Each structure stands twice: as structure tokens, then as C-alpha cells.
């Protein structure tokens, strides 16, 4: 019986919305047929990609001093209420559980109110600092907007880091390190370029002093927020009375930060940045299968061809290699299937290759085929690195010319309507700038995303909206 996923995409990527809907279904990443708004089943192929993301991210975090933990999935109402601005910001998005023995519990929307009370218990003096912890798992947000698989969901698969320090300087250094981690992992390894944006005060994380979000431009011109990092300052430590003793014996409140790369959302950008009209193109570093071997055989030569396939597989034993030896599908069907699923390399072997001791290597991103001698098979690790570098560079090219300097509100609208990001002079990202932001959103449907966090840009002249002195250079775009 022919598998549904192999029917292929019926639209081109330029029709992005429908292309995305088809690819996550036909490449067997997710299944939404449980019919629960904002929740989905992640199928084995999608789960294995996400597992690889977790491995890479966790390795990087641990190398930088973070230790893993597992925290409860529920939070007492009393904890959530400890920091008033936090609960005010999250209350509309909280899933409340049935009251048990007069105790009201919430499914965690995030975990500051779980980690900070533990910091109070675990940290006694400056000798216990810094303390850098993380967990992997789900958080739950009662999102009332239109949901979309992986993009806007009510259950988010992520890593959240919660770190405690003795000083604000150390905490802010961690915020910058979080941006570096996003650069090293999401951009350099997964091939997803981003803009690190310090958010306006009205768009920061509830309870934070400030927030920096990583904005990724999607093919349809909308921005999707990827890993964000927050300087929590001393707000939560004061709410939970989490202190430490300094070297001179004085008690001080902890300085804390939080960082949250969401694997399920990052997968959205991997799909969207690298995929094409045939389906997924997965980075070599993330693909569940590095190389798919498709043996082309008849009943008469099947045994010999499969033996040759095993010989090739054994030469590549350090990688994820799969032999597709299903004899109820044609070779062409298999080619199509694995291209749809985005496997970086395909090896084709038949009677001709067996006799010549060669193989045919197909490269997913370029579509090229090469005849290679088995004795001179190239370094697969190097081929994979080159593959990922091409994906990254192609993604970076998508950003070229997508940021437009605008001098009027009309130019802002023109830019965002043409799937671009507007760069403008702005009065303020504090409360004083809210009216100007509301004016832009009303006339264009776009949002003030913030200022570049890793580059000091000096404004010139006046605010593009109110005409007052410009104090910031901000970026404006439509978002999910």
C-alpha cells in the first residue's frame, strides 16, 4: 500500500502557508488529528530531529557550566503570585488545574517561581555562585490566538536555563553569553540567521528588567521569535527572599537570568529556511539519517546487492546510515520519499555499481549526482560540514536586502507589505514610545521589535512618528 506521505507537495514554496502545512504533514513531522487546539503529536521523524537539537544545545550548555535538572510540571498558585508583575503578565496564559486539598496548581508557563525558591535553599554564600542550571521539557501557555503546529502552540518543547550570580555585571555577562550560544548553535550549526533584539519595555518578559529576543525572518516576511534571554535582576530573589553572603559576610539578593531556546519553534525555522519545492532539506547535524542507501535489485541479484550495501554501510559506521531494502516500493518511490524527508545524502547501488565497485552519491541541496569509487569514498564528516555551510550561506543570502531604512510611515508600510523589515529612528523604547508604537501597529499591522542588542547604533534626527528627538534605532516587522 502506498504511503500517504509520498504523494508529494502539491504547491511550491512561494505559496508558503500551504507549503508549510503540507510539508509538516507529508514529511511525517507532526500529526494534529487528535484535534486538541494548540496541541499536536510529534511523529518519530520530527521527534528524532528535535532530539538531535536537544543533544547539540545541551552539550553547548554543559560545556559552559550549566547543569541539568528536572523540575515539577506544576507550580503552586502562591509561587506564581510572589512576583506581582510576573503573575500579571502570565495569568491570562495559565492552565489552572483542579484545586486539590485547597491547593491551586498551575501547569508551568515558565519556571522562575520554581527555580528561585530552590536557589534560596541551595545557595548560602558567594562560594556557591555562580549556579547555572537548566531543564528540558514542556511549558504550557493558554494561547488564545489562532494556533498553528509548531509555530503557535499551547505546549512548547524547550530548554530553560535559570542562572544565579552575585552581581549585576556577572548576570549581564550571562545574557551576552546566551546570545553567543544562540549564534553558535542556531545560526552556525542549524543554519538559521537571526537578529538579537532588545525588546521595548512594553514587550519584555513578565518580571524581567529587560528581554532580548532572537528574531528570524521567515520566507513569508514574518518574524518568528526564537531563543530569548532575560535579565531578571533581583525581582524574583527579592520576592522569594533568596540571598547569599558576600565575602565580607554581608547578605545580598541574588541576581538571576533566564534563557529559553524552544526546540519545537526552532524546528519551524529549520523547515522553512532550508526546505524547497520537493520537501525538507535537513542540516547534516540534525538529520535522523545521515545517508540513505537505496539498493536497486531484482530477485536474482538481491542478495549480492544487499551484501554490497552492508559493505558500504560498514565503511560509514560512525554515522546514521540506513539501508532502504523494502522490495514493495520502486527505487524511484524511495528516492522521492527520502528527498521529501530531507536526508542530506543518498547512495544508489545496482548491478552496474556492484561490478565496478562504485556508488552513485546524490546530494540533497544541490541535486547533483556523482559516481564515486568505493575505495576513494570521501570523508563523510567533511561532506556534512560543507553541506551545512551551504545551507547556512543560502539562509544568510535570504536576509540580504531585507532590512530597509525608512524615513516616513508610508515607507514603513511599503517595507513590511513587501516582506521586509523597516529600520527607523525612534523616540523611546520606554513608556514614552508606546503611542508611537500603537500608531505604527494600527497603520501597518507591524510591531516594534526593538534595537540590536549586539550592536550600538546611533540614531540621527527625529522620531519617524512623533517628530521628537530620536534616541533609538529600531526595527519594525510583522510577526507570528
**pLDDT at res. 209:** 96
**Residue 212 pLDDT greater than 90, yes or no:** yes
Calculate ∠ Cα 178-179-182, nearest 5°: 90
Q: Where are the extended beta strands (E) located within 390-467?
A: 403-405, 421-426, 447-452
Residue 102 — pLDDT band, cuts 50, 70, 90? confident
CATH of the domain at 263: 3.30.930.10
**Residue 37 pLDDT greater than 50, yes or no:** yes
**pLDDT at res. 3:** 47
* Residues forming a β-bridge with 262: 158
**pLDDT at res. 454:** 86
**Residue 225 pLDDT greater than 90, yes or no:** yes
Question: 88-92, 206-210, 327-331, 344-348: which has the highest mean pLDDT?
Answer: 344-348
As a whole number, mean pLDDT of residues 444-461 equals 93
Q: Residue 221 is placed in which grid cell? A: 516576511
- Give percent of the chain above pLDDT 70: 98
**pLDDT at res. 82:** 84
In whole angstroms, how far apart are CA 365 and each of 11, 394, 440?
A: 19, 10, 39
Cα-Cα-Cα-Cα torsion 140, 143, 148, 151, nearest 10 degrees, comes to: -60
**pLDDT at res. 40:** 93
**pLDDT at res. 6:** 53
**pLDDT at res. 12:** 96
**Residue 114 pLDDT greater than 70, yes or no:** yes
Number of structural domains (the chain) is 3
Residue 1 — pLDDT band, cuts 50, 70, 90? very low
418 and 370 share a domain? Answer: no
**pLDDT at res. 4:** 45
Does a structural domain hold residue 4? no
Does a structural domain hold residue 284? no
Three-class secondary structure of residue 321 per DSSP? strand
Residue range of the domain that includes 59: 10-274
In whole angstroms, how far apart are CA 151 and each of 13, 100, 126, 272?
A: 17, 33, 41, 11
Place of cell 540580504: 400
Calculate ∠ Cα 445-447-448, nearest 5°: 150
* Residues forming a β-bridge with 134: 68, 161
54 and 137 share a domain? Answer: yes
32 and 92 share a domain? Answer: yes
26 and 143 share a domain? Answer: yes
As a whole number, mean pLDDT of residues 359-379 equals 95
**Residue 344 pLDDT greater than 50, yes or no:** yes
**pLDDT at res. 467:** 95
Q: Residue 103 is placed in which grid cell? A: 491547593
The DSSP secondary-structure symbol of 170 reads H
As a whole number, mean pLDDT of residues 318-325 equals 96
C-beta of residue 200 within 8 angstroms of C-beta of residue 437: yes
**pLDDT at res. 216:** 97
C-beta of residue 119 within 8 angstroms of C-beta of residue 128: no
DSSP symbols for 247-306? TTS-EEE-EEEEEE-BHHHHHHHHHHHH-BTTB----TTT-S-SEEEEE---TTTHHHHH
219 and 79 share a domain? Answer: yes
Q: Examine residue 411 and say whether the peptide bond preceding it is cis (omega within 30 degrees of 0).
A: no
**Average pLDDT over all residues of the chain:** 94
Amino acid at each position: 500500500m502506498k504511503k500517504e506521505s509520498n504523494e508529494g507537495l502539491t504547491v511550491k514554496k512561494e505559496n508558503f502557508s500551504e507549503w508549510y502545512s503540507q510539508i509538516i504533514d507529508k514529511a511525517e513531522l507532526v500529526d494534529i488529528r487528535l484535534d486538541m487546539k494548540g496541541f499536536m503529536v510529534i511523529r518519530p521523524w520530527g521527534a528524532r530531529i528535535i532530539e538531535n537539537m536537544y543533544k547539540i544545545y545541551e552539550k553547548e550548555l554543559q560545556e559552559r557550566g550549566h547543569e541539568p535538572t528536572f523540575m515539577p510540571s506544576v507550580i503552586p498558585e502562591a509561587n506564581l503570585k510572589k512576583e506581582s508583575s510576573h503573575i500579571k503578565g502570565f495569568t491570562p496564559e495559565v492552565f489552572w488545574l483542579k484545586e486539590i486539598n485547597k491547593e491551586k496548581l498551575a501547569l508551568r508557563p515558565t519556571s522562575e517561581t520554581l527555580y528561585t525558591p530552590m536557589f534560596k535553599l541551595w545557595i548560602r554564600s558567594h562560594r556557591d555562585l555562580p549556579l547555572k542550571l537548566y531543564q528540558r521539557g514542556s511549558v504550557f501557555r493558554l494561547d488564545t490566538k489562532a494556533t498553528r503546529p509548531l509555530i503557535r502552540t499551547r505546549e512548547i518543547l524547550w530548554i530553560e536555563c535559570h542562572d544565579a550570580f552575585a552581581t549585576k555585571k556577572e548576570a549581564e555577562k550571562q545574557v551576552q553569553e546566551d546570545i553567543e550560544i544562540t549564534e553558535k548553535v542556531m545560526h552556525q550549526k542549524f543554519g538559521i540567521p537571526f537578529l538579537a533584539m532588545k525588546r521595548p519595555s512594553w514587550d519584555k518578559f513578565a518580571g524581567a528588567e529587560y528581554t532580548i529576543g532572537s528574531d528570524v525572518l521567515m520566507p513569508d516576511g514574518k518574524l518568528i521569535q526564537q531563543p530569548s534571554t532575560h535579565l531578571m535582576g533581583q525581582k524574583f530573589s527579592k520576592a522569594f527572599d533568596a540571598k547569599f553572603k558576600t565575602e565580607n559576610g554581608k547578605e545580598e539578593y541574588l541576581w538571576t537570568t533566564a534563557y529559553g531556546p524552544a526546540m519545537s519553534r526552532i524546528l519551524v525555522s529549520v523547515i522553512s529556511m532550508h526546505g524547497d519545492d520537493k520537501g525538507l532539506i535537513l542540516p547534516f547535524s540534525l538529520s535522523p539519517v545521515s545517508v540513505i542507501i537505496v539498493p536497486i535489485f531484482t530477485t536474482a541479484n538481491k542478495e549480492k546487492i544487499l551484501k554490497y550495501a552492508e559493505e558500504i554501510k560498514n565503511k560509514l559506521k560512525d554515522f546514521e546510515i540506513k539501508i532502504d531494502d523494502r522490495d514493495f516500493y520502486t527505487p524511484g518511490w524511495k528516492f522521492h520519499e527520502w528527498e521529501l524527508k530531507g536526508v542530506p545524502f543518498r547512495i544508489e547501488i545496482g548491478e552496474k555499481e556492484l561490478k565496478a565497485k562504485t556508488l552513485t552519491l546524490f546530494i540533497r541541496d544541490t541535486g547533483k549526482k556523482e559516481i564515486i569509487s568505493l575505495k576513494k569514498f570521501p570523508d563523510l564528516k567533511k561532506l556534512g560540514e560543507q553541506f551545512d555551510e551551504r545551507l547556512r550561506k543560502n539562509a544568510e543570502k535570504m536576509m540580504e536586502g531585507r532590512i530597509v531604512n525608512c524615513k516616513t510611515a508610508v515607507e514603513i508600510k511599503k517595507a513590511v507589505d513587501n516582506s521586509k523589515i523597516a529600520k527607523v529612528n525612534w523616540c523611546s523604547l520606554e513608556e514614552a514610545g508606546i503611542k508611537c508604537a500603537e500608531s505604527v501597529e494600527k497603520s501597518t499591522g507591524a510591531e516594534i521589535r526593538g534595537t540590536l542588542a549586539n550592536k550600538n547604533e546611533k540614531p540621527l534626527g527625529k522620531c519617524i512618528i512623533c517628530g521628537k528627538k530620536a534616541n533609538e534605532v529600531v526595527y519594525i516587522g510583522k510577526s507570528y
